[in-house]
Homo-oligomer: A and B are copies of this chain.
Amino acid sequence: MTENDPRPTLEEVAALAGTSRATASRVVNQSPKVSPSARAAVERAINELGYAPNRAARSLVTRRSDSIGLVVAESEERIFGEPFFASLVRGVSDALAGTDMQLVLLLNRSDQERSRVQRFLSTHVDGVLLVSAHAEEPLLHQLADGPIPAILAGRPLRPTSLPYVDVDNVSGAYQAVRHLVDGGRQRIATIAGPQDMAVGVDRLAGYRTAVDEAATSDEDLVVVGDFSTGSGERGAQELLERHPDIDAIFAASDLMAVGALQALERAGRKVPADVAVVGFDDSVVATTTRPQLTSVHQPISDMGRQMILRLREALEGPTLVPSATVLPTNLVRRGSS
B-binding residues in A (CB < 8 A)? 6-7, 50, 52, 54-60, 65, 67, 70, 75, 80-83, 85-87, 89-90, 93-94, 97, 102-107, 109-110, 113, 116, 119-120, 122-124, 147, 229, 255, 258, 262, 265, 284-285, 287-290
Asked if B124 and A81 make an inter-chain contact with CB atoms under 8 angstroms apart, the answer reads no
| Nearest neighbor of A285 in chain B, beta-carbon distance | B288
| Nearest neighbor of A259 in chain B, beta-carbon distance | B288
The 5 A-B pairs with the shortest beta carbon distances in the complex, nearest first, are A82-B82, A56-B59, A93-B107, A80-B86, A56-B60
Q: How many protomers of this protein does the assembly include?
A: 2
Distance, CA A87 to CA B107, complexed state (A): 12
Asked if A122 and B7 make an inter-chain contact with CB atoms under 8 angstroms apart, the answer reads yes
Asked if B65 and A89 make an inter-chain contact with CB atoms under 8 angstroms apart, the answer reads no
Asked if A52 and B119 make an inter-chain contact with CB atoms under 8 angstroms apart, the answer reads yes
Contact partners of A55 in chain B: CB under 8 A: 56, 59, 65, 123-124
CB distance from A86 to the nearest CB of B (A): 4
Contact partners of A258 in chain B: CB under 8 A: 288
CB distance from A199 to the nearest CB of B (A): 18
Distance, CA A120 to CA B287, complexed state (A): 40
